[in-house]
Structure formats: structure tokens, C-alpha cells
């Protein structure tokens, strides 16, 4: 096997999907601890503590404190390299989350044992389903009373339309929680608060028939457990690797993240069975991770990660080949070669200079406005990874400045923040307005706050007569010119200079489309 193939086979790149408060942050932190990437618990959580204290968007900023520095976390586990990509917590960041999920090979779904399947989990699951992303499930907070485990699996199956294959099974819950049984190995892992970090640190019996089990949980509970296991065996699916990899079955684990419990069986199973980097579609062919030449795509851009440095970082998922520090790569959209100097990797919450990186890894590239979400880098080949859309905004506001002399700063701030993809920035051809489009209302508050905080500009956002946006394209230059002449009042350029039709009403859009059949109106701008 080549070096690239070997390194790719070792990689596990995934994201956690869950409803807020199910335990994503706690689980993330524990995984980093398991991987030895951080020494002490508390570093992820500490920054989050103030989250609930302030108003919604301030809280969001606080939350950004975590999701920013821990956008990508890499840690070693059992000879594998695990890349955990963080998905933003707030519902308004739907499209951002969507793009993160295009960059992973599998997902871990966390469910609160008391709450069951919640609304945001359903949405995220729908996104995973678009690419048949394999999903493992962790049922959390077993130290509390919750739903009956069998009912819970039924709920997952019926609401999320995915088969459940329990891999561990709980022995009691809440006050009566005693442990879990591993349904494949037969092992019994006892629940002991404050322990369970490693196998050495846990009490594990080889099977439920071991006398130690009866001694630990008592004869009545053991009898109950035997009955329940029989029921589970009859009523549920057994693990089928192929069904899992096709996204039609999810292996299920039970535990308590805050108590480290049930995580070791989960992680062991995860690194063994979760897919390594897979082949990916491009405009011209599928790219295999084992190919020798570097390819990758940008799925996320973060402005001002470090306020002191005013930097913008483009996160690139490597799809094939090897990245080596200082190498040059071909930026397909601009057709230019670019030196990938000072690229970053993300070990735990620290940023470090990347020496090399392999398929499945994510590197951070310094961006000076030339890189957009969806961009592909190669070693010269003309291909672009597909499936990373830019969503059409549904809400529009005109930016209004307190201090008119700060127009330049405002433009710069709006353009840079729009690179992140949560908002889009338009400059109408016929006026000096600056129009911002977003998918959620909260975005306008976030942008106003960040403009002030990061760019020193005070701006407000006022209503504007725009109901929807369409990217327009026309292969016939003459017809395009005619179209522009006739429709200039409604045309704008977006931050990358692409032409966009801002329709004051839906009816207006319909008429414009009918009158210019040679022009294509697109609801998303797929980057090509």
C-alpha cells in the first residue's frame, strides 16, 4: 500500500449531530480526553459556561468561542487518526452545518435518553440522508431516568426511518444504572462514577454468566436483564456492517457522557467500523482518496478567528494525496497557482502549523478574499468537487451607517463576513445601497454586532423591497447584455462579482424569467 493509501485508511472524519443540550459538547470533550488530546476536562465547557447568561445573539458570540477554536479537532485513538468536525450549535446556522456535513465521512448522533428524538436531530438526519452518510447513535444521560430503551429504539426507527442495531444495552438507568452489556462481545461493563476512562480503569466481566456480575448487580436484576436481552435479541436488528455503511442501519450505544460511561465501547467500535475517507464526485470524475496527487475543497470560512490578527481562515478537507507544508496548489476557480504557506492543523483547541496532512484531514488556509466556500484545490487538474451549495437568502435588509464616513469599513466588513457563507452581500448596479441577505433573522443581529466588535462600524439594518434572489447566467453574451440593459434596476453583484437578480416580488421574478428565456435563474450558486 502507498503512504497515501495507508494514511487514508487510518483516518476517521466525522461530525456529531444532536439537538442542543443533548450532550454534544460534553461528549466532544470526553473524546478529546480519551484521545489524550487535552489534559484536563473543562476547557471546552468553561468557555461555554456564560452561554445562557446573556441575550440570544450575545450568547451566540460566546458559543462562537467554542465552535471557532474547535472547528476541527484531531486526536489519535487506537492507531487511528480521528478528525471531529464541529457543527455550529444554533439553528440559524443551518446551511453552515450542511456544508460541514458534506466534509465528513460519517456522523455520530447523540440523543438524550429522556427527550428522545428532537426536532433538530430530525433536520440534521435529513441532511445526512442526502449523501447516505453512515450514522452511529449514542443515547446519553443514562444516569438519569429516561424513556424505556426499547421504546426509544422504536422511536428512532419510526421517526428517523433508520434501522437500529443496539451494540450495547443498558443495565438499569437513573439511580439503578449498573452498567452496559456489549451485545457483540458479550462483555459487561460496570458503571462506576468517576471511572470508566480506560479498560484498566473499568470493571469489565467477560459475560453476564460471570459470577462477578451477579455479585455486582444482584440476582433479581440479573434475572430481569436476561429476560430483557432475550426480548431485545428477538425484536431488534443485529449489526450489519454493509447496512450501516449504506446509511440504512445505525448501531446504537448507551451511556453517560458526563460520567465517561459507555464511551470506550463506542469509540472502539467507531474506529473499527466507521468509514475511512471515501471517493468523492467532481465535475469530471470521482476522485479516490488513495490517488497520489493532492485534491481538496473548502467547506467553511471563518473570519477573524483570532481578533488580534484579523485573519480569515478557509477550511479545506483533503480528498486525496498528501499536503506538505509550503507546497503550491492550483486554485481551480481562479485558474491560478497558490502557495499554501503557513497552513494550520487543529490539534485539540490549539492551532499548530501543519507539517503534512492526508485524506480526511482538514487544514486551515489563510484567506485574503480570494478563496470562497466550495473552491477546489488540485495539483493542476481541472476538476471541481460538487455538492457544496450556497443557499439563496430569504431575508433582505439594507445596511444603514451611523457614521457615513465609515462606508469603506462597512463594505469591507460586510464582504468579509459574507465569505463565511451565513449571509450574502449584494451591491445593486443602479444605487449605492449595500444589501445583505440571510437565511435567518438572527444573522442581521450577529452581523451588526460583529461589525461593531470586529470592524468598529455601527450599522443598522432596515427593510428593503426584495423578496428573493437568483443568480443569473447566460451563455449568449449579446442576450446577456440586453437582459442587463432591461433589468439593471433589479440587478446586483454579489461579493464575488457574480450577477444576481434581486426580485422585489415573486410575481416580478416570474415575469422576468418568462421574458428572458435565454437566461438561467438559479436559486443557489453551486461553485463550479
Percent helix, strand, coil in the chain (nearest 5)? Answer: 35, 30, 40
- Tell me the longest C-alpha to C-alpha distance in the chain: 86
d(CA 401, CA 141): 48
Count other Cβ atoms within 10 Å, centred on residue 440: 19
Query: Any contact of residue 258 with ligand GDP (CB under 6 A)?
Result: yes
**Which residue's CB is nearer to ligand GDP, number 250 or number 256?**
256
Please tell me whether residue 227 adopts helix, strand or coil conformation: helix
| 143 lies in the binding site for ligand GDP (CB under 6 A) | yes
Q: Could you say whether residue 182 binds ligand GDP (CB under 6 A)?
A: no
Closest to ligand GDP by CB, 141 or 317: 141
Q: Residues marked as binding?
A: 18-25, 86-90, 140-143
Compute the distance between CA of residue 407 and CA of residue 254 in angstroms, rounded to an integer.
Answer: 55
22 or 503: whose CB is closer to ligand GDP? 22
**CA distances (Å), origin 206, targets 185, 273, 486:** 8, 22, 78
Q: Which CB sits closer to ligand GDP, 23 or 428?
A: 23
**Concatenated DSSP letters of 433-499:** --EEEESSTHHHHHHHHHHHHHH---EEEEE-S--EEEEEE-S-HHHHHHHHHHHGGGEEEETTS-E
- Which range touches ligand GDP (CB under 6 A), out of 141-149, 292-300, 317-325, 452-460? 141-149
Nearest partner of 418 among 320, 468, 493, judged by Cα: 493
Closest by alpha carbon to 266, among 139, 103, 86, 125? 139
User: Is the separation of the CB atoms in 518 and 511 below 8 Å?
Assistant: no
d(C-alpha 98, C-alpha 366), whole Å = 23
Stretch that binds ligand GDP, among 138-146, 178-186, 239-247, 399-407 (CB under 6 A): 138-146
Query: Does 168 interact with ligand GDP (rule: CB under 6 A)?
Result: no
Minimum gap (Å) between residue 45 Cβ and ligand GDP:
7
Residue 21 or 151 having the CB closest to ligand GDP:
21
Tell me, what DSSP letter sits at residue 176?
G
Among 256, 282, 320, 345, binds ligand GDP (CB under 6 A): 256
Q: Does 64 bind ligand GDP (CB under 6 A)?
A: no
Quote the CA–CA distance of 464 and 396 in Å, as a whole number.
6
Cβ of residue 26: shortest distance to ligand GDP, in angstroms? 3
Q: Which is nearer to ligand GDP, 12 or 19 (CB)?
A: 19
CA dihedral 34, 37, 41, 47 (to 10 degrees): -140
C-alpha angle 346-422-59 in degrees, rounded to nearest 5: 75
- Least Cβ distance, residue 397 to ligand GDP (angstroms): 29
Degrees, nearest 5: CA angle 232-233-237: 95
User: Of 193 and 324, which has the nearer Cβ to ligand GDP?
Assistant: 193
Long-range contacts (CB closer than 8 Å, 24 or more residues apart) made by 198-203 = 198/264, 199/264, 202/264
Measured from the CB atom, the residue of 144 and 412 that comes closer to ligand GDP is: 144
The Cα angle at residue 15 between residues 245 and 364, in degrees rounded to 5: 120
CB of 16 to ligand GDP, least distance (A): 8
Residues 12-51: x where in contact with ligand GDP by CB under 6 A, - otherwise, as a string: ------x-xxxxxxx-------------------------
Q: How far apart are CA 332 and CA 445, in angstroms?
A: 34
Span near ligand GDP by CB under 6 A; candidates 135-143, 216-224, 424-432, 444-452: 135-143
Binding-site annotation: residue ranges for GTP: 18-25, 86-90, 140-143
Q: Which of 69, 106, 140, 423 binds ligand GDP (CB under 6 A)?
A: 140
Shorter beta-carbon distance to ligand GDP: residue 259 or 276: 259
Q: Which is nearer to ligand GDP, 180 or 257 (CB)?
A: 257
Site for ligand GDP in 347-386 (CB under 6 A): none
CB of 28 to ligand GDP, least distance (A): 7
Least distance to ligand GDP, CB of residue 38, Å: 15
- State the minimum distance, in angstroms, from the CB of residue 142 to ligand GDP: 7
Q: Give the interface segment with ligand GDP, choosing from 118-126, 173-181, 256-264, 441-449 (CB under 6 A).
A: 256-264
* Residue 141: HSE in the Cβ half-sphere, 13 Å Cα cutoff: 16
CB atoms within 10 A of CB 414: 24
> Does residue 145 interact with ligand GDP by CB under 6 A?
no
Shortest approach of ligand GDP to residue 112 CB, angstroms? 8
Options 11, 141, 182, 312; binder of ligand GDP; rule CB under 6 A: 141
The answer to whether residue 257 forms part of the interface with ligand GDP (CB under 6 A) is yes
Number of residues that bind ligand GDP (CB under 6 A): 16
Cα of 427 vs its chain's centroid, Å: 30
How far is 478 from 497, CA to CA, in rounded Å? 19
- Integer angstrom CA distances of residue 521 from 46, 148, 475: 47, 51, 12
In the bound complex, what is the minimum distance in angstroms from residue 22's beta carbon to ligand GDP? Answer: 5
Count other Cβ atoms within 10 Å, centred on residue 20: 13
Segment interacting with ligand GDP (CB under 6 A) among 137-145, 181-189, 367-375, 458-466: 137-145
Select 19 or 331, whichever has its Cβ closest to ligand GDP.
19
Reference 270, options 278, 259, 262; nearest CA is 262
Provide the minimum distance between the beta carbon of 110 and ligand GDP in the complex, in angstroms, as a whole number. Answer: 7
Query: Interface with ligand GDP by CB under 6 A: which residues?
Result: 18, 20-26, 140-141, 143-144, 256-259
Amino acid at each position: 500500500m502507498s503512504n497515501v493509501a495507508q494514511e487514508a485508511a487510518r483516518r476517521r472524519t466525522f461530525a456529531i449531530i444532536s439537538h442542543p443540550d443533548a450532550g454534544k459538547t460534553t461528549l466532544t470533550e470526553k473524546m478529546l480526553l480519551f484521545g489524550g488530546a487535552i489534559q484536563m476536562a473543562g476547557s471546552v465547557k468553561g468557555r461555554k459556561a456564560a452561554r445562557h447568561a446573556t441575550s440570544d445573539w450575545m450568547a451566540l458570540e460566546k458559543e462562537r468561542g467554542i465552535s471557532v477554536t474547535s472547528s476541527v479537532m484531531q486526536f489519535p485513538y487506537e492507531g487511528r487518526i480521528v478528525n471531529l468536525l464541529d457543527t455550529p450549535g444554533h439553528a440559524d446556522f443551518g446551511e453552515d452545518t450542511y456544508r460541514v456535513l458534506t466534509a465528513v465521512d460519517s456522523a455520530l448522533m447523540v440523543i438524550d435518553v429522556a427527550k428522545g428524538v428532537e426536532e433538530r436531530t430530525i433536520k440534521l438526519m435529513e441532511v445526512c440522508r442526502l449523501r447516505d452518510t453512515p450514522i452511529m447513535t449514542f443515547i446519553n444521560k443514562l444516569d438519569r431516568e429516561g424513556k424505556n430503551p426499547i421504546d426509544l429504539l422504536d422511536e428512532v426507527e419510526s421517526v428517523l426511518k433508520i434501522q437500529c442495531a443496539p451494540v450495547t444495552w443498558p443495565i438499569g438507568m437513573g439511580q439503578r444504572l449498573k452498567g452496559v452489556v456489549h451485545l457483540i462481545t458479550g462483555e459487561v461493563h460496570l458503571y462506576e462514577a468517576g471511572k470508566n476512562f480506560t479498560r484498566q480503569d473499568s470493571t469489565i466481566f467477560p459475560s453476564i454468566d460471570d459470577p462477578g456480575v451477579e455479585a455486582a448487580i444482584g440476582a433479581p436484576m440479573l434475572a430481569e436483564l436476561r429476560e430483557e436481552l432475550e426480548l431485545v435479541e428477538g425484536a431488534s436488528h443485529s449489526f450489519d456492517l454493509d447496512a450501516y455503511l449504506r446509511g440504512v442501519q445505525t448501531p446504537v450505544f448507551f451511556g453517560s457522557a458526563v460520567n465517561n460511561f459507555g464511551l470506550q465501547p463506542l469509540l472502539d467500535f467507531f474506529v473499527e467500523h466507521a468509514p475511512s475517507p471515501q471517493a468523492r464526485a467532481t465535475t469530471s470524475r470521482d476522485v479516490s482518496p488513495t490517488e497520489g496527487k493532492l485534491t481538496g475543497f473548502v467547506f467553511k470560512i471563518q473570519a477573524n478567528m483570532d481578533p488580534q490578527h484579523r485573519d480569515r481562515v478557509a477550511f479545506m478537507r483533503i480528498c486525496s494525496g498528501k499536503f506538505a507544508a509550503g507546497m503550491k496548489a492550483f486554485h481551480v476557480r481562479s485558474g491560478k497557482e497558490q502557495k499554501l504557506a503557513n497552513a494550520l492543523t487543529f490539534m485539540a483547541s490549539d492551532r499548530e502549523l501543519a507539517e503534512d496532512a492526508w485524506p480526511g484531514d482538514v487544514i486551515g488556509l489563510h484567506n485574503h478574499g480570494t478563496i470562497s466556500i466550495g473552491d477546489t484545490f488540485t495539483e493542476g487538474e481541472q476538476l471541481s468537487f460538487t455538492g457544496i451549495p450556497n443557499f439563496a437568502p430569504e431575508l433582505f435588509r439594507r445596511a444603514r451607517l451611523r457614521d457615513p464616513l465609515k462606508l469603506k469599513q462597512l463594505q469591507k466588513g460586510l464582504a468579509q463576513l459574507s465569505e463565511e457563507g451565513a449571509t450574502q452581500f449584494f451591491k445593486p448596479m443602479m444605487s449605492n445601497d449595500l444589501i445583505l441577505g440571510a437565511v435567518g433573522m438572527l444573522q442581521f443581529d450577529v452581523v451588526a454586532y460583529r461589525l461593531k466588535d470586529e470592524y468598529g462600524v455601527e450599522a443598522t439594518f432596515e427593510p428593503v423591497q426584495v423578496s428573493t434572489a437568483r443568480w443569473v447566467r447566460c451563455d449568449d453574451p449579446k442576450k446577456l447584455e440586453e437582459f442587463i440593459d432591461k433589468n439593471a434596476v433589479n440587478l446586483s453583484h454579489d461579493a464575488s462579482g457574480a450577477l444576481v437578480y434581486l426580485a422585489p416580488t415573486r410575481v416580478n421574478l416570474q415575469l422576468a424569467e418568462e421574458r428572458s428565456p435565454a437566461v438561467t435563474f438559479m436559486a443557489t450558486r453551486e461553485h463550479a
